[in-house]
Chain A
Amino acid sequence: MAKDGLTEFRLVGTRPDRPDGLDKVTGRARYGADISAPGMLWAAVVRSPHAHARIVKIDTSKAEALDGVKAVITRADFPEGLTGEAWNLQENTMAGDRALYDGHAVAAVAATSAFVAQDAARLIEVEYEVLPHVIDVDDAIKPDAPVIREGAADATVPEGMPPNVVRYMEFGHGDVEAGFGAADLVMEKTYKTEATHQGYIEPHACMGQMGEDGRGEMWVCTQGHWFIRKMCTDVLGLDPAQLRVTPSEIGGGFGGKTTIFMEPLSLALSKKAGGRPVKVVMTRSEVLRATGPTASASMDVKIGMTKDGQITAGRAEFRMQGGAFPGAPVDFALMCGFAAYKMPAVEHIGYDVLANRPRAAAYRAPGSPMGAFAVESLVDEMCRELGLDPLEVRLKNAVHEGDKASYGPKFGSIGLEEVLQATKAHPNLLAELGPNQGRGMASGYWFNHSGDTSVSLAISEDGTAQVSVGTPDIGGSRASIALMTAETLGIDYEDVRVNVVETGALGVNEPTHGSRATFASGKAAVMAAEQAIGEMCRRAAAKWGIDPEAVEWVDGAAQPAGPNAGKFPPMTIAEIAAKMSSTGGPIAGHHESVPEGVGASFGTHVVDVEVDPETGRTTILRYLVVQDAGRAIHPAYVEGQYQGGAVQGIGWALNEAYIYGEDGRLQNTVFLDYRIPVASDLPMIDTVIVEVPNPGHPYGVRGVGETGITPPLPAIANAIHDAVGVRLRSLPMSPPAVLAALKAKE
């Protein structure tokens, strides 16, 4: 359990105020849309109203003639000849000969005010020839479905597959048929999840400036500005080093801000408008129609189980659409699906399918919630059939360190057993349930990720430290990185300032994604601090005239490493820093690598619900999140990740979905209709931070951001069944869906 300061550490595990807190409670923090520049223009984007249409003609003459319009662009303003992912990004930024989904950009305009830009956008005339479209994944995979794009399939797709299948995979181990043969109960069911949106409250926004010479700058809300730099320059055929990207504060991302949508438009418009900066701010409707929601899924799962709850074999066949481009996370969904179970035999088959929807982006543990919904629902169905306790069955089949994972590799240090035991011991499991109330549980998994990481650290003249990181602070990572740096240097938390810096200031960094910021930037900051400590020990050794190896760093000061090293009073970091000019110059440290030692995180949730039999509405009565953090550097922000992930999962389970009309247009394009959970929908979210330290990180961090969204989908389905005896195998489990299931049962 998190010890909240009762650890062997001075600072790690405590809950100080976050360094950016003051700016964020006073309105001073600057987000994507909060910046302006002299001469700035405003952009507006023209978007396809059709799910699938050939673009016959675009007439921009009336828009160009409007007073105040400085640039109009279409696909003709982008370079030709791109291939692979660069082409995908360009095609999604601005449609070519066909609009592939409702909301696909077809033209953009920059003008002297936002209103003039919007007026001009309405004057752009686009002639469409509407084509047949397909939305649902089970329709899109049919052999006679409208073809989204010829030749989009990669080499993994065997001859003869339906035309919209663009990636195919199969993997597994063991004799699955023998496993099913050895089971007392074999069940196979089909489950479906609908696309949902990350729903960050800050719409995408940027301000880009690009001269005729191809040199430019961008201010943008993003999870990763080096990704933005590479993608924008790929799409525009520019040299990445000539684009400097500065990240704003970020108003939520959850994976959805790891890629580009309208960012290249600001640069292309700026270039055409003589280099004036161009601000692009999406509306909420544009965010929902034209950024990256998650994939939707249709999943067949089959499991064999003995009568005492031993799993003998599993099989999963998942079909996912991720919009009009390849990349639905069907691979991750399959890999996470059975991850919590020791699988003697398992088979996975996956199809990545195109459909006329916006291109899916990452969403918190991409794929894992869908896989868990299918597998964890079926495990629950089988436990009920066999009269077994679902928690005991999970314990019986739980994976441990050294076990072969369902997806192949051997697990390193993991804490699933500890999570399940902590769940079992929690008082929520003893709460009494009334009529129409039920309890459900489920587990979830995420691998966690490392990736390119570059950090620098500089000691100031007074012995305080500044750390430059390339991972935007999306939920308190400045605080956790400052805690680890201060712990390592032996100075106060308040004496470390962590800055998120622009692309010109560090080597390449991957975004804040994959639950990696506290793991990877944190580990790199600790290594940078250790490098600076080494230099400070050398300075002290030179002053004392002893061997640097004979100096050690204790409590923020250099001291002789033992009686044989000599007798000198400790030299503090402030004393060493004050003299740095005359002892060799600036003292700094840096670290660049793909940090090794990522630790995976398991979690288990238990939810109590009440179902109103008259309306079908499900109310969350109690909610428990138990998850392995490795070590919680700042426990309050770890709890925040658990609670926020759980509530996104609750929204996905009960209410959120992309709703399309027969015409292929998205029907719920505002928050009133795409309703995310609000405060009055929810109880407090109870958390237990399990700590099985990750040996691959200096303070044991695993990464905690993603696992928490995974268990709610099946846990709530299981709880609804427990409450009213109906099994929902399709999301969302909205009041009409639950009511229909109750009616069908009668």
Chain B
Amino acid sequence: MSKTHVTTKVNGDTVEFLADPRASLLDCLRDNLGLTGTKEGCGTGDCGACSVTLDGTLVCSCLVLGVEAEGREIGTIEGMAEDKELHPLQRKFIEHAALQCGFCTPGFLVAAKALLDQNQNPTEEEVRYWLAGNLCRCTGYDKIIRAVMDAAAELRGEAA
């Protein structure tokens, strides 16, 4: 099957690749661009491990075709830290031991950042429902929720 040339922006950088029309955005990020921080846990949009932003909207990259990325702006885990500075969510995940195996972590971080970008003062319930599309099998979610709440507090300028 002939491939389609795609030009898109990933984490602010313009990139090009040749996409098989059947390939998901997740496949293209991982296999064409070498951005393996975004993970595949299910391929059916149920686990959230492949969470990225597409023009600022949180999506499962396994449910987007690679060719749909043409002319769009994509944000992945690799672009979350600004220069050398970790995002508060990244620091808080480490600090709160909010990861065990770490495989779901990139998806959780991208999804949680999308929440905090629009609501810096979420309740615990709001965090739990926002992250209900991200599966974690190791932690029981407790420490993840605490890390997100703590990062939100820091972003609001409140001491932990």
* Chain A residues packing against B (C-beta within 8 Å): 15, 17-18, 20-31, 33-34, 36, 113-115, 198-203, 249-254, 281, 283-284, 474-476, 634, 636-637, 639-640, 643-648, 670-672, 676-682, 684-685
Which residues of B are found within 8 Å of A114, using beta-carbon distances? 27, 31
Known: A27-B76, A28-B37, A671-B44. A251 touches B103 (CB 8 A): yes
What 3 A-B pairs come out closest when comparing CB atoms? A27-B37, A251-B103, A24-B102
Partner of A475, one of B27, B39, B101: B101
For the complex, give the distance between the alpha carbons of A671 and B127 in Å. 21
Known: A200-B137, A201-B47. A21 touches B99 (CB 8 A): yes
Which residues of A are found within 8 Å of B135, using beta-carbon distances? 201, 671, 676, 678
Interface string of B76-110 (1 = CB under 8 A from A): 11101100001000110111110111111110010
Which residues of A are found within 8 Å of B15, using beta-carbon distances? none
For the complex, give the distance between the alpha carbons of A15 and B94 in Å. 11
B90→A25 contact, CB < 8 A:
yes
Known: A27-B38, A29-B102, A201-B103. A671 touches B47 (CB 8 A): yes
A24→B99 contact, CB < 8 A:
yes
For the complex, give the distance between the alpha carbons of A251 and B22 in Å. 26
17 more A-B residue pairs beyond the given contacts A283-B43, A475-B100, A685-B142, with a C-beta to C-beta distance below 8 A: A18-B97, A20-B102, A21-B99, A24-B102, A36-B31, A201-B39, A201-B103, A201-B135, A201-B136, A249-B101, A636-B143, A639-B143, A647-B141, A671-B44, A677-B140, A679-B129, A679-B145
B77→A31 contact, CB < 8 A:
no
B41→A202 contact, CB < 8 A:
yes
B134 lies within 8 A of chain A by Cβ: yes
Known: A199-B137, A679-B134. A671 touches B42 (CB 8 A): yes
Shortest CB-to-CB span from A159 to chain B, Å, is: 44
For the complex, give the distance between the alpha carbons of A283 and B30 in Å. 15
Interface set, chain B 101-128, CB cutoff 8 A to A: 101-106, 109, 125, 127-128
Shortest CB-to-CB span from A664 to chain B, Å, is: 23
Nearest B residue to A674, CB-CB:
B46
Partner of A25, one of B36, B86, B134: B86
A201→B137 contact, CB < 8 A:
yes
Interface pairs (28), CB distance under 8 Å:
A15-B97, A17-B95, A25-B86, A25-B90, A26-B80, A26-B90, A27-B35, A27-B37, A34-B30, A198-B137, A200-B101, A200-B103, A202-B39, A202-B103, A253-B101, A475-B100, A475-B101, A636-B97, A639-B97, A639-B143, A640-B97, A644-B137, A644-B139, A645-B140, A647-B141, A679-B128, A679-B134, A684-B145
A672→B140 contact, CB < 8 A:
no
Known: A29-B102, A636-B96. A643 touches B142 (CB 8 A): yes
* Chain B residues packing against A (C-beta within 8 Å): 1, 20, 22-23, 27, 30-31, 35-44, 46-47, 49, 76-78, 80-81, 86, 90-91, 93-97, 99-106, 109, 125, 127-129, 131-146
Nearest B residue to A26, CB-CB:
B81
Interface of A is mostly: loop
Which residues of A are found within 8 Å of B136, using beta-carbon distances? 201, 679
B94→A22 contact, CB < 8 A:
yes
For the complex, give the distance between the alpha carbons of A398 and B106 in Å. 44
Which residues of A are found within 8 Å of B97, using beta-carbon distances? 15, 18, 476, 634, 636-637, 639-640
B46→A672 contact, CB < 8 A:
yes
Nearest A residue to B78, CB-CB:
A27
Partner of B140, one of A26, A115, A643: A643
Nearest B residue to A625, CB-CB:
B140
For the complex, give the distance between the alpha carbons of A163 and B91 in Å. 58
For the complex, give the distance between the alpha carbons of A66 and B128 in Å. 48
A670→B100 contact, CB < 8 A:
no
A17→B103 contact, CB < 8 A:
no
Residue of A24, A25, A34, A681 contacting most chain B CB atoms (<10 Å)? A25
A26→B37 contact, CB < 8 A:
yes
Nearest A residue to B93, CB-CB:
A25
Which residues of B are found within 8 Å of A115, using beta-carbon distances? 1, 20, 22-23
For the complex, give the distance between the alpha carbons of A396 and B37 in Å. 52
